[in-house]
């Protein structure tokens, strides 16, 4: 499976893109920002970025090679960053699946059996909003706050490749309040607000036997995208008893988007 950071990061990028698509341009700068296109309106920072925003803005302005008749053509802009550390989500929020559970992927035509563990990670994310005037920065921050508070946007899904299948797993926002805090900076004609967004991401850890191992079923090719499953008992016969493995079948899961 992929490392847990990349699918969550990609999912949050799609989440911000959906936010961007419904923005209202209530100031000239925000209206231009909404027309510009997401790929030229948002960028990922290399790390926890409060101490890197000015460098990011300088690089963004340098790379803007279009001819613009107005100053600050690269503003407004959103700069997103995600922490690289790991912190488990509080157990009063959700409990991880620390003990291995036998599972089947719901769409697996080979009906293989794997082992699954699940961790819920607390993921700290920041979105810096840089604009040429305070009104535009506040507008984007307020619209982001409304977007995150909507019930339909309190959760989104990251997709993890498990045994060749992309499986959706939930990422929940921890609210209720998002605060857009001014960030000190030395650039003139610039307003910079930073929003902290904490998320609880459910991360699956799928386990399978080594290809050709004694407990492998031989149904896969031995790759990460097509591994063997575990051997299982499909039918049992004994004195006074005859039954099938269906009486103790492994769990399946289906996450609804």
Query: 192-231, pLDDT tens digit by residue?
Result: 898 999 999 999 999 999 998 999 999 999 898 999 999 9
Q: Which of 214, 243, 209 is nearest to 112 (CA)?
A: 209
SS3 (DSSP) at 174: strand
170 pLDDT more than 90: yes
52 vs 251, residue with greater confidence: 52
Q: Map residue 146 onto helix, strand or coil.
A: helix
Closest C-alpha to 95, from 73, 68, 117, 62? 117
Host H or E run for residue 42:
strand 42-44
**Looking at the 3D structure of the chain, how many domains does it have?**
1
Q: What percent of the chain has pLDDT over 90?
A: 54
Q: Which domain holds residue 206?
A: 5-252
Residue 121 maps to a domain: yes
Q: Among residues of the chain, what percentage have pLDDT more than 70?
A: 75
Q: Give the span between the Cα atoms of 245 and 29, in whole angstroms.
A: 64
Would 63 be classed as within a structural domain? yes
Please report whether residue 188 resides in a domain.
yes
Is 257 a member of any domain?
Answer: no
Taking 3-state DSSP, the helix, strand and coil percentages for the chain, each rounded to the nearest 5, stand at: 25, 35, 40
Return the bridge partners of 169, or none.
158
Parallel/antiparallel/unpaired status of strands 77-82 and 42-44: parallel
Confidence of residue 189 (pLDDT cuts 50, 70, 90): confident
Residue 171 lies in a domain: yes
What does the pLDDT look like over 130-142, one tens digit per residue? 999 999 999 999 9
Split at pLDDT 50, 70, 90, the class of 87 is confident
- Mean pLDDT over residues 136-164, rounded? 94
What pLDDT is recorded for position 134? 92
Q: Is the peptide bond before 76 cis (omega within 30 degrees of 0)?
A: yes
């Amino acid at each position: 499976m992929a490392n847990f950071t990349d699918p969550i990061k990609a999912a949050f990028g799609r989440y911000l893109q959906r936010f961007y698509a419904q923005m209202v341009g209530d100031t000239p700068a925000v209206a231009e920002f909404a027309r510009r296109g997401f790929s030229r309106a948002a960028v990922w920072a290399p790390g926890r970025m409060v101490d890197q925003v000015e460098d990011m803005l300088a690089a963004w302005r340098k790379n803007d090679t279009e001819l613009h008749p107005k100053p600050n053509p690269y503003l407004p802009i959103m700069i997103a960053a995600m922490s690289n550390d790991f912190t488990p989500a509080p157990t009063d929020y959700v409990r991880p699946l620390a003990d291995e559970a036998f599972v089947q992927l719901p769409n697996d035509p080979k009906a293989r059996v794997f082992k699954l563990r699940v961790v819920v990670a607390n993921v700290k994310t920041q979105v810096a909003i840089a604009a040429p005037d305070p009104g535009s920065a506040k507008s984007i921050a307020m619209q982001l706050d409304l977007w995150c508070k909507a019930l339909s946007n309190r959760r989104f899904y990251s997709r993890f490749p498990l045994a060749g299948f992309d499986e959706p797993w939930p990422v929940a926002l921890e609210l209720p309040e998002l605060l857009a805090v001014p960030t000190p900076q030395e650039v003139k004609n610039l307003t910079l607000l930073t929003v902290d967004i904490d998320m609880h991401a459910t991360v699956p850890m799928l386990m399978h036997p080594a290809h050709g191992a004694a407990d492998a079923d031989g149904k896969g090719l031995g790759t990460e995208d097509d591994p063997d499953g575990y051997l299982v008992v499909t039918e049992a016969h004994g004195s006074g008893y005859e039954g099938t493995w269906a009486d103790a079948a492994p769990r399946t899961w289906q996450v609804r988007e």
